[in-house]
Structures are given as structure tokens and as C-alpha cells.
Structure 1
Amino acid sequence: MLLGTTWRAGLRSARNQNVLIARSISASSVAAPKPRWQQYLRRAGLVGIGVGAVYTLDRTANASALFRNLRTLWACARITADYKFNFTEDKSAQIPELHERVADIMYNLFTSNGGLYIKIGQAIGANSAFLPQPVQRKFATLFDDAPQIPYADVLSVFQHEFGRPPDGPDGVFELFDPKAIASASIAQVHKARTWTGEWVAVKVQKPDVAKQTEWDLGAYRVVMWLFEKVAFDLPVYFMVDFISDHLRKELDFELEANNALRTMEFVAADPDLSRTVYIPKVYLELTTKRVMTAEWIDGVRLSDRNGILRLIGELPGAERPLRGGTRAVMEPMVELFSAQMFRWGWVHCDPHPGNILVRPHPSQPTHPQLVLIDHGLYVQLSEDFRHDWCALWEGMLAGEFSVVDHVTRRWGMGLPDLFASAVLMRPTRLRRGRPPPDPTKQPRKRLEDMSNYERSVLMKAQLKRFLHDTDRMPKVLVFLLRNMRMVQGNNQALGSPVNRIKITGFAASRGLTRDPNASLRRRVHDYWHYTRFRMFMFSIDVVFWAARVRQWVWALLGRCALGMGFEDEMERSMRGIAKSNFGVDPGPEAFRG
């Protein structure tokens, strides 16, 4: 009995001792925590694992859209901070370096993100004449070119859209080249042959684009808001909704196919254009929202200047040179886009030289035929706007200040003379009475005597006067001016063989509807107006042919292959206008399309 009691007392003593030892160990652990660097290292590891997991998920399931936006916001924050701290009067001498840094940041952002960022960057580049020269230079090299996606991705798109592979026994096509012939930011093109034996061009949308679109457009909205409200205090945000809507439409290939069919109907109904312009056939049964099939066309892209010159015999290499020279190429092109703006009210907004092919006419092999491709971006003009646009052009060419002033005021735009010069891309002074001199007004300082900061402030003030009321400004103007800039650039690249302004002006005049039941007084007014318009157009023709004569003389003297043409002289004049009105000195490529 005593032995048992002693054993139980020893057991309790041992237990109490173990508890004391445990408490001692616990107390020692609290009293001696791990080193702080180990805690930071552990936290950094957890954060790294979390970021890596988010990055992997974003890249695999969301096409890196989140991190693309973070890259955008970081670039935007850098630009905003740089301008806020360094765009000051006391740092005026460093402003060119500031513009250079910003141009590099923007260019690197657009090329790194790709996709719709390339489209947005091209829209900026097409209207960069009044931006700093570093921005002009950078964006002039922003081409819509991108690496091909793997064939496995093409296969997945076909499986999703058709439930079948591109080719094979149960394929959509009999033959399908797995290697794309061209690849751009949002799609790539493959050559294929249908089961009925027709060769076709198959445009396949890249899988990541659909996932990235809304993220990219959201970032675009934030960036434009920050640039207007925080960084530059310039009206740039008003175009965001309009441009975003049209960029979304470019991703719908069924809509693009319908655009092509509608343009085909307009061309077929025009007796003149139907002989010189062709729209490739679209295969609706082989088209979905992400895959479009159109007739395959062999031709020379207008961007291939030497190829065009060989085709028409101005460079050696063509077996049967086409007749008519560069004029036979450019005249139908200017007439086509003039008809779209002034008569059809249905305008192709991306007529860059890569979207225009030239080939021998199938029924007249000695004559050129233009082929218009890529119908993703069109704008529809309202009848009221189309009529105003025609009247505006006729008024600008006739030098009628009252007409131009009336239309531009209704559109919420100031500086009618400058607007006319920007549209015509030639110096334009509208006739009106001179206001009496204001003795209290101080003469403006000469641009040559201004600092970089003062010229930038002048440019901002003039742009605000120009875009007086952005709520009333027709948004389609942005795309119309883009169209005209590109047409001008195409004409300029081939040596200005046609008087673009004359062709466009007559198209605008024909686009104005005249009332057959008008009064005699109205008829006399219209007759006098039209006669004056013809006289003015004759004067433009004199200037054009004088430029052509100088151009030929230059070519004979060996100064250059095509000499300085009409468009080159107008570009030089427009650079002078930009410098005198906005305080910027555009580079030589600023007014090229």
C-alpha cells in the first residue's frame, strides 16, 4: 500500500516537472523570436508565390490582359509625372528631351502589348502632325505586323467556330496552308482551297484578342481621361466611346463580310467605278465572327512602290506593262473614296496602301484594276452630315468664308481658315471682311523668339480654340480626315500623278442635291455659284500642272526619280501653317498618309 502511494506521488511529480519544462520551452520561444530578416524573407516568398500564381492564371486564362493593363497604367503614371515635374518654364531647354522620353515610353508600350494597342497607336500616328517630332518619328514606324500564332491555335479557333478542323477528310477546306501568308495584330491570313476548287484567303482572328479587348479598351479610357484631366489639359477624351465602338466592330468578321458586300453593291451600281475597281467575293457560308473567307486575289500591293512601277512599265520587269501609268492607278482610287464620302455616305476608314491591290484587269489585261480589301472599319454618314460635308468642301474650294464658318460653328469648331487648311491639306485663306485693328491688342511674339515652353503653351491654346465644343463635333470627322490623309499619302508616294483636290472637289459638288423646282432667283444664284466654283477649280489645275512641269524637269535633270510633286509642295506649305499657327515644326512625314 505504501509502495503504491509512493509510486503515484512520483508519477504526479514527474508530470508536474514535464509541465514546467513545457512552459519553460514555450516561454523561451516567446522570449526569443525568429530574426526579422527571416520574417521578411518568408513574407516576400509568400507575395512572390501569390504574384506568380496570379501572373500564371492571367497569362493562361486571361491572355495576360491584367498585366498588360498594369503595364499601361505604369507607363501612363510615368508620363504624367514626367510632364508635371519637368514641363515648366524654367526647364524649357529640356522639353525636347522630355518629348523624346515620352515617345519612347508610348512606343514601347504599344509594341509590347500589341493587339488593339497597335490599332490605337496607328490612330494616334495618323493624326500626329501637331504632336512633338519625337512622337511623329516613333509612330511613323508603328506597323501592324506581328508574329504568327501556332497552327494549334488556328485549329482551336476552327474547332470552336465550325466544330471541324481547317482541312482533312471532314475539314472546312480541301486544302489549308498551315503557314500564314500575313500576320497582323488581331488576325492572320492563310491560303486555302474550297471543296469546289476555288482558292480563297482565310482570315483567322487570334484567340487572345477576344479576351484582351475589353481590358484594352478600359485601359484606353483611363489613359485618355488621365491625359485630359491630369497631364495635358487637352480635349482628347471626347472620342473614346466612338473609337472604342468601331474598334469592337473590327473584331466581328461577319460584320466585315457584310461591309464588303455592301461596298460591292455600291461599286457595281456605278458605271465608271465598276470598270476600274473590284471588291473580292465573300463566302458567307465559310464566315463566322472569328473566321472570314474571301476570294483569293493575286496582285501587287500599293505599298510596294517598285512593284507598282514595274507593273506599269516605269521600271523594268513586267512582261506586259499596263497602260496609263501611275495616273491610271491613282485616278480610280481618288474617285472611289470621293464617291464613298460625298455620294454614298459609306466610307472605308483604313485605305492604307497595304489594303489596296493592283492587278491587270481580267477582261482588259492591258489596263490596271484596283482591288480593295480589309473591310473591317467603315463609318455611315447621316444624310444631313453628308450634305454639310459636300457644302463645306465646295465652300472651302471657292473660298467662301460664310459657308465654312456656318458649318464649322454648327460643328463646334473654331478657326475656319485653319480647319479648311487641315481638310484640304493646303494653305487656305477664306474671303471675308478684315476686322478693324485693335489698338489694345499686343502683337504676338515671333515663334523664333519663343522658348520651347512658350511654343507648347501656344499650341495648347490654339488646339482648344480649334476644338471649341467637342460635344457638338461630328465624331466621324476623325475617320474622314484619316481616310483623306491616307489617300493623299498614296498619291504622294507615286509622285502625285493626279490632282486629288480637283477630283475630290468635283465629287463634293456633284454630291450636293439641287432642287429642280427652285425659283429663278435660286437658279441664277446656283449658276453663278457653280461658275465661280469651276473658275476656282481651273486655278487649282493651273497650279497642279505647273507642279507637274517642275516635276518632269527635276526628273530630267536627275534630281530624283519622280521629282517633287503637287502633294509634296502642299505638304511643305502645311508644315509652315502648323508652325505659324500651332508653334510646332512637324517632320517631313507628318502630313503623309
Structure 2
Amino acid sequence: MKTSPLQFAKKSLNTGANVLGRLHKSASVAGLSALRVAKGEQMDAYLLKDAFMQMGVTYIKLGQFIASTPSLFPREYVLAFADCLDATPPVPFAKMQAVLTEELTDDGRGLDDIFAFIDPVPLASASIAQVHKAVLKDGRKVALKIQKPDVGAIMQTDLGVLHGAFWAMERLLPMMKTANLAPIIDEIRTRMTAETDFLAEARHIDKFREFLEKTGSQHITAPKVHHDLSTKRVLVMDLLVGKSLVDESLLSDIAQSNHTTPQKVMADVLDTWFLSLMMTGEFHADLHAGNLMYLTDGRIAFLDFGLMGQIKPSSLQACFSLVQSLQLNDYHGMAQAMVDIGMTHSHDKIKVGQLADDLKAMMDKVHGSPQETDNLNLLMLELVEIGKRYGVHFPRDFALLTKQLLYFDRFMVTLAPEMELFEGERLKVVIEERASN
């Protein structure tokens, strides 16, 4: 939509004020944290997590990045930030309505010309956005994903401060030079920028829907995007009605159905995800059970395409081999996969038998932990620790892909415990992928 010079000037002034306010808040929280240390508290990962939670969106996202990237951060920080959940109290609707007005209207049109109704109570609220039900003027029901006010400016301000802090640490503290922090903040900036660009998410949804159409899928869907009403800060999609796969009443609903079973639902999800990865080169990297919806018409909807991963064929092969061997408790197979497919810097120096023994010890440790069923970070941490000792190099999105496969493995236990992650057509696809590389 067009913006008048007056609107642009007002927005610029507001943004400047927000940036100054943001800097003040960050300094205040940092000061309070320093005061806690001065009073005798230990400056550890959990104190830092508390500070991050107080500072909001950017730091919550940074905490999630730390928790999901064990190859880059110390173990104690990964564990501390594991419960840094992307769920926040909703913003008052008046503020969200202001974002809608700014994004979707101009001098000749108001929200009343576009929507017959917008529910002020959100369906969901996260750190970056919240989702509201609405009805268009023509009667179509839609879901509005609205970015919370000033998220973009806040993130850019925070990331600028962090980049400057990392730059200073690398130059003032010799021990930090080897940490190579600049690429880490660049990676964080790339991922956060992608998550705040709803047009990018719309393209991912379109790509997935095109894949479904090309393959003739009848059982899987994704929300259709209304591109004429979508912007970088507002995503308008058809409203899909159903139940999340984590809904406790879902199994009884499926049991009463005459056209599907829990096993069929799980197989459709897995087959579609695997095939889309093979055909498109990218994958939904946050497809936990909460982002899968069983619709009233019996189809399954893939939701929330904000976090996507890309993987090279060799890394894809690595994940398949590693997870399959892990399922079979084949530690030699796990070790051999890590060596054979180019994940190690020096193949000839790796003792496969010794690596297999260390992997077995790792799994014995994980199996003995009470966190086993809930915290995949523990497994990834142990794997990374072993990898470092053997010179194992983990590609950029390796952790995302491996954790997604383990997500599947975990909620299959609830929905279809007798199924295997790699079986039937999926196993055939994996074997063909290995043979082609």
C-alpha cells in the first residue's frame, strides 16, 4: 500500500522513539542483571536466560537459536535455554488493528471495506505475531497472522547492539577471537529476518501447495494464501478448522472415522514430508504435532512455514543413516555413517570402532536421563560433544533436520507406536537417495 509523506515522517519519528526506548530497556535489564551479580549471584546461563526473557522478542528468538544449535554453543547454555518458549501474552487488539490499518489500507479504503468481522481474541500468540480469525466482505473465513508492533525495528536495534558487543569482545578479549562470533550473529540475523518477512513464508506455502498439486496429494493440504491482502507484516490465509495432532480427543475422533486410522494419518504426514524434501530441496523445520491439524474433512494440514531448512544431498544422507542406525541401536552404523559421508574432516584418522563405543556410551547416558522423552537437545548435545572429539563437521541445517526426524520419532510413539520412521516407500526413497550419492 502507498504511504503519504506525512505518514512516512510520523512512522520514522515513532521508529526513532521506539529504538531509543529499546536501547534504554536493554540497558536497564543489563544493569539489573549486573546488580544481581554484584549481590552475589553467579553469572551463569540461567541468569542470562532470565535477562533474555525480560528483554523480549529478539532475545527469546536468540535463546531458541542457542537451544537448537548445540554445535555452536556451550552445553550449559543449550540446556538453560531449552525452555525458552516462543509463546507470549497477546498484544491488545487495538494495537494489532493499527498494524492491519497501516498495512492494508490507504486513503481510499478502510478495514471495514475489506473485512466483515475480525475476532479481537487471538487464536494464538507468539513472540513475533499473533493469529486472529476474520471474515472477508465476500463471506470467506480467513486467518490473519499479524506481526506485533515494532518487531522489525526492535530486532534490528537489538541485533545491531549484539553485533557491536560481539565485535568489541573479539577485539578486547583474546580468548574470544577463536570463538568467531561474527558468523553466529550473521546466522541469527538471517533466520530472524526470514521469520519476520511474511511474504517469504507465503512463498514457502505456495511452493508446498504446488508440490501437493504436482504429486496429486489428496490427504494433505496447507492454507491458501490471499496474496492481494498479504504483506511483510500481515499474512492472510484461508481459515482451516480441525484439531491439532496433540489434541487428546483426536484419537477417539479418528477411531470413530470410517475412512482413516492413526497409522494412515501418520504415514500420510511422513510420506509427504519426505517426498517434499526430496523434490523441493527444503523442509519444514518445525513440524511438531502442534503444527499439524486434522481437519474436519479428514485431511491433514501442515501449518506455520516460518522456519524452513535447506540441506545438501550428502547431509541429507547423513541424517537418514544416522537416525535409522540410532533407531536400530546400530552404533557401528552410526559411526560409519558419520565417517563415510563426508561429515568428518579427516576420514583416515577416525577409528570407527572407538567412535561406535563412544556413541553407545552416549545413548546409555541419554536412555538413563529422565529428560529422554521430552528433551531432544540432550541427545543432540551428546552427539555434538562426541563429534568435536573426532573432528566431525556438522553442516548448517544438520541439527534442524535431525531434530525434525527425532520429532517424528517421538510423536509416532503416541499416534502409531508400531510404525517405523523408515519403512515402505520412505525406506525405498532413502535407499535410492543413498545410491544416487
TM-score when scaled to structure 2? 0.72
Q: What one-letter code is carried by the residue in structure 2 that aligns with 1:303?
A: V
Q: Deviations over 1:233-255 (max 9, x none)?
A: 87876543233212211111111
Identify which of 67, 71, 75 aligns with 1:125: 67
Report the Cα distance in structure 2 between the residues aligned to 1:416 and 1:74, rounded to whole angstroms. 50
Q: Report the counterpart of residue 484 of structure 1 in structure 2.
A: 405
CA deviation after TM superposition for structure 1 residue 144, in Å: 1.7
For residues 351 and 277 of structure 2, the distance between their equivalents in structure 1, rounded to whole angstroms, comes to 23
Alignment of 1:8-23 (within 5 A): none
Does residue 405 in structure 1 map to residue 339 in structure 2? Answer: yes
Question: Does residue 358 in structure 1 map to residue 294 in structure 2?
Answer: yes
Q: Which residue does 1:292 correspond to in 2?
A: 235
Write the letter of the residue equivalent to 1:188.
Q
Match in the other structure for 1:250: 195
Indicate the SS of the match to 1:174: strand
- Does residue 509 in structure 1 map to residue 422 in structure 2? no
Match of 1:496 in 2: 417
Cα distance in structure 2, aligned partners of 1:200 and 1:152: 19
Change (3 A) 1:309 1:59: farther
Indicate which of 309, 320, 331 corresponds to 2:267. Answer: 331
* Alpha-carbon shift at residue 108 of structure 1 (Å): 1.5
Task: Tell me how far 1:460 sits from its aligned partner.
Answer: 12
Q: Does residue 370 of the first structure (1) align with residue 300 of the second (2)?
A: yes
Structure with larger Rg: 1
Counterpart residue identity of residue 407, structure 1: I
**Structure 1 pair 309–390 and aligned structure 2 pair: CA distance change class (3 A):** closer
C-alpha distance in 2, partners of 1:290/1:505? Answer: 40
Superimposed CA distance per residue, residues 446-501 of structure 1 (whole angstroms, 9 cap, x where no aligned partner): xxxxxxxxxxxxx899467258376xx52121322232233233324547342124
Q: Deviations over 1:194-236 (max 9, x none)?
A: 1221100011101120111122334555677869975898787
Matched length: 395
Change (3 A) 1:236 1:60: closer
SS of 1:487 mapped into structure 2: helix
Task: Provide the residue aligned with 1:346 in structure 2.
Answer: 282
Query: 1:297 Cα shift?
Result: 0.7
The amino acid across from 1:61 in the alignment is N
Amino acid at match of 1:256: E
Cα deviation, residue 290, structure 1: 0.6
Find the partner of 2:103 among 161, 165, 183.
161
Q: Which amino acid aligns with 1:477?
A: F
Contact 2:263 2:416 in 1 (8 A): no
- 1:241 paired to 2:174: no
Paired with 2:358 and 2:241, the residues of 1 have a C-alpha distance of: 36
Q: Deviations over 1:337-367 (max 9, x none)?
A: 322444431111111232211124x3xxxxx
Residue 301, structure 1, aligned to residue 237, structure 2: no
- After the TM superposition, which residues 152-231 of structure 1 pair with which residues of structure 2 at under 5 Å, given as runs? 152-164=94-106, 170-221=112-163
Cα distance in 2, alignment partners of residues 373 and 185 from structure 1:
17
Compared with structure 1, are the counterparts of its residues 263 and 466 closer, same or farther at alpha carbon in structure 2 (3 Å cutoff)?
Answer: farther
- Measured at CA, do residues 421 and 77 of structure 1 come closer, stay the same or move farther in structure 2, by a change above 3 Å? farther
Aligned residue type for 2:27: L
**Do the aligned partners of residues 307 and 422 (structure 1) sit closer, same or farther apart at CA in structure 2, a change above 3 Å counting?**
farther
Shift of 1:372: 0.7
What letter is aligned with 2:299?
Q
Distance 1:418 1:358 in 2: 45
The DSSP-based 3-state class of the residue aligned with 2:84 is coil
Structure 1 length-normalised TM:
0.55
Instruction: Say which SS state the counterpart of residue 299 (structure 2) adopts.
Output: strand
Q: Please say if residues 253 and 288 of structure 1, whose CA atoms lie closer than 8 Å, have aligned partners that are also in contact.
A: yes
What SS does the corresponding residue of 2:193 show, helix, strand or coil? helix
Q: What is the CA–CA distance in structure 1 between the aligned matches of 2:351 and 2:29, rounded to whole Å? A: 35
Separation of aligned partners in 1, 2:164 and 2:24: 15
Correspondence list, 1:141-160, <5 A: 141-160=83-102
2: CA distance between counterparts of 1:423 and 1:343? 32
Label 1:174 to 1:422 Cα distance change in 2 as closer, same or farther (>3 A).
Answer: farther
Deviation sequence 1:18-73 (CA, Å, 0-9, x none)? xxxxxxxxxxxxxxxxxxxxxxxxxxxxxxxxxxxxxxx99943274213443575
Gap change, CA 1:460 and 1:195, over 3 Å in 2? closer
